Every structure is written in structure tokens, then in C-alpha cells.
Structure 1
């Protein structure tokens, strides 16, 4: 194996047990021998050289095309043993140089005009809907769940997430609610089903738009729950409440001011907004190059230091910030295990390369939240600080009332159209 790569791995990997078989068939051992051994193999010198020069991009590509194979363990276990040792700051000098270049040029990749934003959304969210049904919960929640207890199921945790967000919105009868990035409609339908409100959701995904409106029709809720195939920037109405879950990661750092200024204009004077997004604990950075190329083109995960100044410049007031630390790691673990259990079904929809790509995506995302300083933030915003009670007790009371209703089964479970 290339001496530069060998020396780097030997220097950073101090715990665990990793075995690498290089392209010439030679075995190299790393770590202190603790834990289960993970053994991987390079099948070509090109794959080995690519991973040495640019691991953030080339490792995933080599796993997809068979240049890097797992002989003992799994790709998740490989990433876990590596990232537990290097975390988010273990880059070599040449990796740091590549990363700095990407940070300097990131605004170009995140230049998400309405046209490019729709293209980026279609790349990921307009895949065959049956793929997502293989690993998501029955409500098709494709964002971080909220695990109220360690033994909560994915279904329970996703329901708890919707309760948690609804409680922070402080909903009142008759209000108009906007859901920016409404997905397959689950959150909007939940809000309308549990409160006497009118919900408008917007999405750029044709697949999500079709499914979410079909669900509203199935439930007889189309008169007060509608989903538009529309960019939020093209809306003109004002809303009493705005919620956005898992959409802000697609905005791009150069569009943050535009996002919050538009949110301010759409929000009523006494309105409340809740923004739920992936964030990073560390300093501003750049999107992983493999994730950008294959999974989320145009996407970016911000630091709070990039978000809060733009909120302030837009004239909005922050009334609450909550950090969810390992909730997404647990969510992704559920998704990864569900996907792997039904991988043969995914292979019927797509080819082996796609399935390896998806396996790498879920494993890399989970390890990022466990070992690379990723988290979820929920920010509550208002235009007028008098819009909410003085203390946070109202959140707990609303959440408890929703929990009793959910547990009592007073509302039918939401179903995907056609299920």
C-alpha cells in the first residue's frame, strides 16, 4: 500500500482493529486490537491511489464501483472505527488543502436559483417512491426523529417529532400555517388533523407534490390542507405560522439572507416560525464532496454562527433554540438497518451500484452525527416578542396534550396514498 497512506492511517488510528489488504494482496494491521476486527480490501491500484489523494470523494466512489470491498464487518463498521479515531479534524495536510479550496469555492456550488434548486431536489427526492418506503416510517418522515425514550421505535420517535414541532408553533384555531419543504405531507397533515387550522405546504419535488395531495384527498382534508409545487420565494400570502423541516440544508449559504427576509415577509406581525435543520457544532465548512456529487447537490450544513447573523439582519427575533444531539444518529441507524434488511427489494428498483451508493450514504451520514460534530437545531422565530407567552411552559403543556391524544388513538394513523 502507498507509504503515505500507510503512515497516515498508522498515525491517526490508535483504537480499534482495522485490517487493510492492498492492491498487491499484502495485509496491513492498524489500531490496538480492541473490538471486532474490520477487514477491507483494495481491488485496484487506482482505487488505492484515489482514496489516498482524496478520501472524501474517492472512498465512496471506490465502494460503489467495487474498488474498495468489505471482507469482514460492514461499511458502517469501517467508517465508525476510522472516524472514532480522527473525528472531524483528522485530515492530513493534502486533505486540508483540498478542503480549504472547496470552502473558498462553495458559494458557486450552492448557487441555488429557483431553477437549480428544482434540479437539485429532483436529483434526490424524485427517485422511485418505493425506495423510501423500504426504510422510512409509515408516515414517510425523511428528517430527524425525536427519541423521547431510549427504547422508542422509529414510528414513535417520528410522531414525537411532529408533536414537538407543533407545540413550539403555539397553534391557535383558524390560523394559516405554511410548511416550507413539506415532503410527503406528513407534518402538514398532522398539524391540520390535530388543530383547527389551514395548512399550505410547498415542495419542489414532483413526486412529493403528487403523493402529499393524494394523501390529503384520501383523508378528506383537501379543503384545509394543500400542497403546492412551488418555490417558497414565489409565495405572496402571509401566514400566522411557518414551519420548515429538513429544507434549510438545501438553501445554500449565499441565500440565507434571502431565505430569512422572505420568511419575515411571509410571517404575520404576531406570527411564529420554527426552523428545524441539520447543523454543525464546529466552524463553518463545506459539504462533503461525495455527498454533494451523488446525494445532495447544492446542499450545505451550516454552523449556527452563519445562521444567526442573517436572522438578525432580517429583523426576526430568536425566542428559542434547541439542539438535538444524537437523535439523528439514532434515526439514521434505524433507516440503515431497515434498508439493509430490504436491500434485495432496492436491487429490484435500481442496480447494485445504486444500492452500494445508498448503503454508503446512510452509513456515512450516521457516523457523521456520531463522530463528526453534526447535530440538529430548532430555532423559534418571531417578528414581535409579545407573540408568545413569557415562559416555555406552553410548549410542555401543548406537547403533553398532543401526546395524550396520540396515545389515545383519537386520530387515525396517516397513510401513504395507495397503501
Structure 2
């Protein structure tokens, strides 16, 4: 028997938490698990045994991109079935994260990494994001909320947590396409500044500020947040940015927020979190988010305490991100005719795997996402209860 096939048959025994079928490159099909098969994996050619042993995430991620195997059924179901099996290599990937050569995220490297992901084209993101162009976890007040409504809910939820007042100053670190800063100015009358390293996002935000008549109240700058000098703010918010700073720069992030935040000021950090420990997926680091690192909750709380900040609130939005990613994955497939006009097949397969794998990771509890609210020194103006966040 083909030694590759022997290895595969052994690998797939007990790998998934659901019944499934595997069709090998020679046409043989084998079923694993009890009951009806939830999905079928079809190997068009074998993936190197050595590659799988060395780093299964990279091997299978690249294998799917290159068309070495196809999936009948839901890509998300396949990944979630792996994550739901706590003995699978997908649940025990810490040792593979060590394979990544850690390069400190200098300002120059950060700019390069952000350009790699966010500057692949506004036209691409417009095809599957909602009208607000918000590329972060939504907030579903109801399971029936549309993606656009969930994104507006998220911004509203964050702004309430920040206890905004007219004419106070707000800094948004990693402001995306500007939904949060423009909404804060229009609804609360704050003076907002967004900072981004993405030239594509910067151009859109500049145009948006002008079109919405917010010049003089909202501004955006194209630079690293660490480059902001001689300015402080009453509020500092960051949504989905700290995952890009790298493990070694997390203390620097909080040190910088401390310098930028006025006494009594409030900061909100919205970010993906590791359940027990921080980590990096080698395939995602190589193809999607170079330089990325998902910090553990305890790691973030320790750094908050290290700066003598007062932690006011922490909230998990794990299920909300799973739902958000499912919306993105559906939108991506629905826009496929247009996507194919601007992207090639390996890119399309890469992003299909990325969106579905992330949805599965959140839905299975492999990773989480939190909003942390903390203050610089004591702030007794915040409401005594959490009611103000939901009214």
C-alpha cells in the first residue's frame, strides 16, 4: 500500500468530531465516524507527509490554496470539526507557532505588514463588507440583525462604553475606514482623530470627512500611533489593532496609551484574545496577517495593571465574531463573479479558507474576543452600574 495513504488513514482516525468521508487521490473513499457524513474531503494529490508532520496548519492551508484537495460541504464545518476535537492538531498548535521566526514589529515593519493586508484594494473589501466598511466584529442585539446593523450596533456599544461628551477629544488607533470616528463626531459632538497605516483606508477616510462636512471636527493621519507627539486625548479607543503589534510590543502599546491619555481619561481596547495563552497561526502569519499575534486575556490584564490603569469592564463577544465572519464568508461567495475579475484562484481559495477557519475558531471557543474598558487614574463620572452601556 502507498505509504502516504497509510499515514493519511492513520491521521484521519479520530481527527474530526463529526462523521465524514475522505476520498484519496487514487479514487478510494473511506468513511470515518458514526452516522451520516457531515462533509467530504477529496484529495486530488497527496500533501507531503513531512510537511504535515512539520506544520499541519501550513501544509493543509497551502494544500487547499494550491488545489491539492477540495471540500464537499461547508469549509467552516470541516475546521470546526477539527477544533471541536480537543485531541486534534488544530487544538494543539502551540508547538507549531514556535516555528515562526519572531521579527520585532518596528514602525517600518508595521507599515509593511499593514500594507500587505489592508492595501490589497478597497474594491476587494467593498465586495463583501457591509456599507459601513467595518472590518471587525459586529454586535448582534438580535440573531436576525443584518451585518450592517450589527456593525452600527458595535460602534454604538463602544461609544456608550466610552462615556462621551461634547467637545472632548477622541483618538482611534487603527481607525479603519472611519465609521467610528465619524459616528462619534456626529452623534456626540466629540473632536476625533483617526490614525492608520493603510494608504487605502486613509484616502477613503479623508474623502468621507469632507463629504460628511466634518472637517474641523474629525481628522485622520497616516502614521504609526507611536509617532504621535505632543498631543493627549480624553478618550483612546482601538478596535482590532493590537493583534498587529506583535507579542514583544504589547507593553509598548499600553505605555503609549498611557502617554496619550489624559488623567481621568477612558480607553477601550477591542481585540481577539487567546483563551489560555497567546499565539500565532503559521499559515495566517505567512499569508494573511504577517507579524500578527493574538494575546491572552491574562497577558492584556497584566499590562493594564502594569500601567496602573483601572480595569472597569471586560466583555466577551466571541459568538458575535463567529456570526460576523459567517456573514463575511457568505458575502464573499455571493460576490464571487466580481471577485474572480480581480483575484486569481489561489487568492480566492486562501480567503475562503481564512474567513471560514476564523468563524470556526470563534464558534468552537478556540479563540475569543474581548472589549476592555480601563481608566487612567480614578474616574468616578462613569455610571455606578453597566446599565449605561445598554440603554
Relative to the length of structure 1, the TM-score reads: 0.88
1:244–1:275 Cα contact (<8 Å) kept = yes
Q: Aligned partners of 2:290 and 2:95: how far apart in 1?
A: 19
Q: Aligned partners of 2:103 and 2:157: how far apart in 1?
A: 30
Alignment-derived partner of residue 408 in structure 1: none
**Unmatched runs of 5 consecutive residues or more in structure 2:** none
Number of residues of Structure 1 aligned to a counterpart in Structure 2: 387
1:109 shift after superposition: 2.7
2:80–2:361 Cα contact (<8 Å) kept = no
1:80 shift after superposition: 3.0
Higher mean C-alpha deviation, range 175-184 or range 319-328? 319-328
Q: Aligned partners of 1:83 and 1:19: how far apart in 2?
A: 18
1:393 shift after superposition: 4.5
Counterpart mapping for 1:292-371 below 5 A: 292-371=285-364
1:101 shift after superposition: 5.7
Q: Aligned partners of 1:212 and 1:290: how far apart in 2?
A: 31
2:47–2:63 Cα contact (<8 Å) kept = no
Matched, 1:176 2:158: no
Higher mean C-alpha deviation, range 292-301 or range 379-388? 379-388
Distance 1:110 1:195, change over 3 A: farther
Higher mean C-alpha deviation, range 191-200 or range 314-323? 314-323
Distance 1:190 1:110, change over 3 A: farther
Alignment-derived partner of residue 205 in structure 1: 198
| Equivalent position to 2:95, from 86, 100, 109 | 100
Q: Summarize deviations over 1:184-218 as a string: whole Å, max 9, x none.
A: 01111111110111000000000000111110101
Counterpart mapping for 1:44-123 below 5 A: 44-46=45-47, 50-51=51-52, 53-70=54-71, 72-84=72-84, 86-87=85-86, 89-91=87-89, 99-100=94-95, 102-103=97-98, 108-109=101-102, 111-123=104-116
Counterpart mapping for 1:223-262 below 5 A: 223-236=216-229, 237-262=231-256
Higher mean C-alpha deviation, range 285-294 or range 326-335? 285-294
1:110–1:254 Cα contact (<8 Å) kept = no
1:42–1:48 Cα contact (<8 Å) kept = no
Distance 1:293 1:47, change over 3 A: same
SS of corresponding position for 2:379: helix
SS of corresponding position for 1:326: helix
Q: Aligned partners of 2:316 and 2:128: how far apart in 1?
A: 25
2:76–2:357 Cα contact (<8 Å) kept = yes
Q: Summarize deviations over 1:293-331 as a string: whole Å, max 9, x none.
A: 000001111111111111111221111111112100000
Matched, 1:43 2:44: yes
Distance 1:378 1:148, change over 3 A: same
Q: Aligned partners of 1:76 and 1:144: how far apart in 2?
A: 17
| Equivalent position to 1:7, from 3, 6, 10 | 10
SS of corresponding position for 1:45: coil
2:43–2:68 Cα contact (<8 Å) kept = yes
1:394 shift after superposition: 5.7
SS of corresponding position for 2:131: coil
1:336–1:362 Cα contact (<8 Å) kept = yes
1:170–1:394 Cα contact (<8 Å) kept = no
Distance 1:50 1:225, change over 3 A: same
SS of corresponding position for 1:2: helix
Q: Aligned partners of 1:25 and 1:110: how far apart in 2?
A: 44
**Unmatched runs of 5 consecutive residues or more in structure 1:** 401-419
1:172 shift after superposition: 1.1
Q: Which protein has the bigger helix share?
A: 1
| Equivalent position to 1:268, from 262, 267, 270 | 262
1:23–1:43 Cα contact (<8 Å) kept = yes
Q: Aligned partners of 1:361 and 1:101: how far apart in 2?
A: 18
Relative to the length of structure 2, the TM-score reads: 0.94
